[in-house]
Amino acid sequence: MPRMDAFMIRGGTPLNGTVPISGSKNSALPLLAATLMADGPTRLDGVPRLSDIDSMIKLLGELGCHVQRGEAVDGLDGPLTVEVRDAESCEARYDIVKTMRASVCVIGPMLARRGRITFSIPGGCAIGDRPIDLHLRGLEKLGARFTHDGGNIVGHVDGRLRGTTVYLGGASGPTVLGTINVMSAATLAEGSTTIVGAACEPEVSDCANLLNKMGAKITGMGGPIIRIEGVDELQAVEHRVIPDRIEAGTFLIAGAITGGDLKLTNANAGHLHALIDRLADCGVSVSHDDTSMTVHGNDATITHTEFATQPYPGFPTDLQAQLMALLCFGDGMSVITERIFPDRFTHVAELNRMGARIRKEGPSAFVAGTEKLQPARVMCSDLRASAALVLAALGIHGETRVDRIYHIDRGYEAIEAKLQNVGADIERVVVDQ
């Protein structure tokens, strides 16, 4: 029987105190990919220690980069320095790509800088089919050519990419990593590019800010139309990754679900308007200043709410499962609609094993609040679904075992240490599974 890490969580205790929020995983991954285009060593501060980041570092290593992690300063993650030392290897192999779909964001930088990439087609994942057609279509408009070769996509560019107008809207709205891929590639293209239907997520702006420091000419990031004036080269710089808005949102919900007051430092409330609004609607208040947020779970009575996931600044799909966990403890009926990844509901069955009353119908879930949640043995299926199970366990009196927590380690840095520091009884154990 395989042995795997699990969490034993004895919940029901209000969490109180301060939680430092890490740098954003979903920003750091494309920032790391963007370093492939710079001359010299790029230094990134605040890159979290996560298994997805390790996978990206491994991929950059295979693509000829020297990557070094500096010493931690004041308990903060040491800076990562990345420098291209050998531009010969141009293959992103299946065994890396299959563990982390975000490796797709090396395609744009590789085509722009080296003119070729062989990329293993990413497989399916627990949140449904995740195509990359928009990435490829956008890069093709810039002049790249793609062929299929036994499970690989082989991309090449004759000469240099050429700027043009690219429409990137898809059936489910804009694409975050697709926008970043095309935007990154266009920085080194000849002439100017306009991306219409661009994703507006803060991670797109963070990447544009890094590229502009490197010498790129990007305007309009954060909005649906981004303009890029191509330049001949990019130079290595230093940059700090933005705070992780999804980790921050998860800890706001941890305060609410346990009835505690949690202060989050290195947190940007400006990136979480939609969550703060829905929390207020179901009875939980959040206060903030420029760099911190506090959730007041102590005096909260959870009721119910309705929301649909949407592209930024709408409610993030990456917080859907966690808010669902909170609403299981509420009073009344909540309605949740998933518009970005309609299959992203694997947490429903596990929450129901804990006594939740959730009924799924198409892309919507109806959550009837109950006081009868109980500890159970549950299993993680994807990163955010796992976070929802941990949150539910923290809110339930008694001992819950959460299996397969390697999913959590992909995206939450030192989650049990951060929870223990604010009073949670959570322990990592190795179990037969």
Binding site for ligand EPZ (CB under 6 A): 26, 29, 102, 130-135, 170, 172, 175-178, 199, 203, 317-318, 340-341, 383-384, 411
Helices (H), 153-266: 176-186, 202-214, 245-258
Nearest residue (CB) to ligand EPZ, 184 versus 317: 317
Contact status, residue 273 vs residue 313, Cβ threshold 8 Å: yes
CB of 251 to ligand EPZ, least distance (A): 15
* Residue among 297, 305, 345 at smallest CA distance from 328: 305
Alpha carbon distance 250, 154 (integer Å): 38
* H/E run at residue 30: helix 25-34
Look up residue 87 and give its two tokens.
């531009």
E strand residue ranges, 56-104: 65-69, 80-84, 91-92
CA atoms in the 13 A half-sphere facing the CB of 252? 31
Q: Which is nearer to ligand EPZ, 88 or 129 (CB)?
A: 129
As measured in angstroms, the least distance from the Cβ of 398 to ligand EPZ is 28
Q: What is the DSSP letter of 191?
A: S
Helix (H) or strand (E) holding 358: strand 357-361
CA 272 – CA 417 distance, rounded (Å): 24
Q: How far is the CB of 382 from ligand EPZ (least distance, A)?
A: 7
Catalytic entry in 125, 200, 282, 380: 125
Element (H, E) at 33: helix 25-34
Helix/strand/coil (H, E, C) string of 313-337? CCECHHHHHHHHHHHHCCCCEEEEE
- Output the smallest distance, CB 2 to ligand EPZ, in A: 24
- Taking alpha carbons only, the member of 31, 55, 27, 25 closest to residue 43 is 31
200 is catalytic: no
Task: Report, as residue numbers or ranges, the catalytic residues.
Answer: 125
